[in-house]
Amino acid sequence: MTQLEIQIDKILEAFYTLVTGKLPPNLLPPDVLHNILTIVTLSLPEGLNLIVGSRYADLPWYYQNVKAALLADVNSFLLVISFPLTAVNRNYEIYKVVAFPFKIVNNTYLRYKFDSGYLAINILQKAYLAMSENVWNNVKDNQLRYVQLTRR
């Protein structure tokens, strides 16, 4: 195989990866992705941030989770990358709910029963959302930083 054939095979392999919606590292090396993330970070309006960050340590997350697509015609192709963003008012701190009984009268105690085991409280303290044990385990096990929560 010639060097040209090897390069073409690498590009075709990257295109096949793009068809699955994943970002191919051989088409977009870590240095290039880091530069793109830096430019995106500096271009975002105030109050919006990349969901993970733009450090080199964050790059594996982007290769695994970012959606990418290839748009092409006979003259060119365009790589489209969808970076998840977060707004300052959409950041939450997650707390495990532990209900302790408290005394209401003489020897009578009351304990709240929560349907979900976790609360996600908005950093601005303006809202809270209930989060089930399954959602928490998914976040914890996969190290995801964003989830769909339900308002309670």
Q: Give me the residue spans of the domains in the chain.
A: 3-87, 91-151
Tell me which residue has tokens 């994943």.
Answer: 22
Between CA 49 and CA 83 the distance in angstroms is: 10
Q: Pick the more confident residue, 127 or 87.
A: 87
68, 23 contact by CB (below 8 A): yes
Average pLDDT over residues 74-90: 80
Q: What is the pLDDT of residue 80?
A: 87
Position with higher pLDDT, 34 vs 135 = 34
**78 pLDDT exceeds 90?**
no
Q: Say if residues 37 and 28 touch (Cβ distance below 8 Å).
A: no
Q: What percent of the chain clears pLDDT 90, i.e. is strictly above it? A: 11
Who has greater pLDDT, 127 or 102? 102
Identify the helix (H) or strand (E) that includes residue 110.
strand 108-110
Please give the model's pTM, rounded to 2 decimal places: 0.57
Note the pLDDT of residue 152.
45
**Residues 17-42: pLDDT tens digits?**
888 888 888 888 999 999 999 999 88
**pLDDT one-digit tens code per residue, 104-125:** 778 787 777 766 677 666 666 5
**Can you give the pLDDT at residue 31?**
94
> What average pLDDT does range 68-81 have in this prediction?
85
Choose among 11, 13, 61: nearest CA to 34. 61
Cβ neighbours of residue 70 closer than 8 Å, sequence gap 6 or more:
15, 18, 19, 77, 78, 79, 80
